[in-house]
Amino acid sequence: MATTLAKAADGTKTATHAARIEHVSKSFAGPAGQQLVLDDISLDVAPGEFVTLLGASGCGKSTLLNLVAGLDRPSAGAITTDGRPALMFQEHALFPWLSAGKNIELALKLRGVPKNERRGKAEELLELVRLGGAHGKRVHELSGGMRQRVAMARALAQESKLLLMDEPFAALDAITRDVLHDELTRIWRETRLSVLFVTHNVREAVRLAERVVLLSSRPGRIARQWTVGIPHPRRIEDTAVAELSVEITEELRGEIRRHGQH
C-alpha cells in the first residue's frame, strides 16, 4: 500500500503515519440486501503508536483490521499503510508439522532472507519473545502462551512497521494473558513498532494502548477516543487503569443500549 512521506530536518524522508484510514465504509450482501458494517471510519495510526480498537461483538473491529491488512477492500474510502502490515490472529495458525523455529524461518523465506541466515534470525526472534532454546520444539510440545509467542515472533519476522493483532490473547487463561501483556508491551517499546490491536476487553485495551478507539455497534462508527496517559509499566489491577476502564465501559454500555433500541 502507498505511504505518505515527510522530509525530516536532515533531508531524509520519514512516514507520516503507519496507517491512514480515510472515510472507509464496508457493506456485505445479506438476505435483506446490502448490510452496512462500517460507516465512514477515519483514523490515523502514527509511527510507533499503540492503538486499541474496542467495541461490542459484531461492531466491525475485525472487519476493519482485515481491510487494513489488505485481506479485503473497502466499499468506500481509502486505506494507506507504511509497507505491508503483519497480522496476528486469536488462533496461532502455526504449521504443526514444523518446529517453532521452522515456522519462523518460513516467514523469513517468504521475505527473501537467504537460507544460511534464517536459522540465526529465527533464534534471535525466539530470544526476543523469551523462547530461547525452543527452535526445535514442535507445536504440540508448546503451551498456549508459548504458541502465541511463536506466532508473535513469526509476525515480527516479516519486519513490518505495522503489527495488526486480532484478539490474540482472548483464548488464554488470565495469568498467561497477563504475562503476554507484559511481553507485548516490552517488545513494542524495544522495537517501536506501530500496533493496531482489536479487543472487546476494556481493561486489556487500557493496559496496553496509548490510545483507545471505541466503535459503535453496527454499523461501526468511531464513537469516542481516549488518550491513555498512564505511565508504563501498567498492571491490569492498577487504580488508574481501573478508573479509565470504568469510564470507557460506561460509554460501551451506552453504545450497546442505543443499538438495542433500533
- Kindly report, residue by residue over 238-250, the tens digit of the pLDDT: 999 999 999 999 9
pLDDT in tens, 180-196: 999 999 999 999 999 99
Say if residue 53's pLDDT is above 80.
yes
Rounded Cα–Cα distance for residues 139 and 9 (Å): 48
**Tell me, what's the pLDDT at 93?**
83
Stretch 93-111: mean pLDDT:
92
Say if residue 5's pLDDT is above 60.
no
Residue 215's Cβ-side half-sphere holds a number of Cα atoms within 13 Å equal to 30
- Which grid coordinates belong to 51? 492503538
Rounded Cα–Cα distance for residues 3 and 197 (Å): 21
SS3 content of the chain, % helix, strand, coil (to 5): 35, 25, 35
Rg (CA), the chain: 19
Say if residue 221's pLDDT is above 80.
yes
Rounded Cα–Cα distance for residues 45 and 82 (Å): 10
Say if residue 198's pLDDT is above 70.
yes
**Tell me, what's the pLDDT at 116?**
92
State the amino acid at position 96 in one-letter form: P
- The answer to whether 13 and 7 have CB atoms below 8 angstroms apart is yes
**Tell me, what's the pLDDT at 217?**
85
With a pLDDT cut of 70, the percent of the chain lying above it is: 93
Say if residue 6's pLDDT is above 50.
no
- Looking up cell 510440545 gives 141
Helix or strand (DSSP H, E) at 77: strand 76-81
Q: What is the mean pLDDT of the chain?
A: 89
**Tell me, what's the pLDDT at 8?**
41
**Tell me, what's the pLDDT at 14?**
57
Sheet holding 194-199, edge to edge: 86-88, 162-166, 194-199, 50-54, 211-215, 222-227
pLDDT in tens, 123-161: 999 999 999 989 999 999 999 899 999 999 999 999 899
Say if residue 19's pLDDT is above 90.
yes
Q: Is the dihedral of CA 45, 49, 55, 57 positive or negative?
A: positive
Instruction: Single out the residue of 213, 206, 191 nearest to residue 238, CA to CA.
Output: 206
Which long-range contacts link 26-31 to residues 24+ away (Cβ below 8 Å)?
26/60, 26/63, 26/64, 26/67, 26/72, 26/74, 26/75, 27/75
- The answer to whether 52 and 199 have CB atoms below 8 angstroms apart is yes
**Tell me, what's the pLDDT at 262?**
46
Say if residue 46's pLDDT is above 50.
yes
Say if residue 261's pLDDT is above 70.
no
- Which grid coordinates belong to 38? 462500517
Q: What angle do helix axes 174-191 and 144-156 make, rounded to 10 degrees? A: 20
In the chain, what are the domain boundaries? 93-159
pLDDT band at 255 (very low <50, low <70, confident <90, very high): confident
pLDDT in tens, 71-84: 999 999 999 999 99
Residue scoring higher pLDDT (34 or 71): 71
With a pLDDT cut of 90, the percent of the chain lying above it is: 73
**Which residue(s) pair with 212 in the sheet?**
52, 226
Helix or strand (DSSP H, E) at 110: helix 100-110
Say if residue 12's pLDDT is above 50.
no
**Tell me, what's the pLDDT at 260?**
62
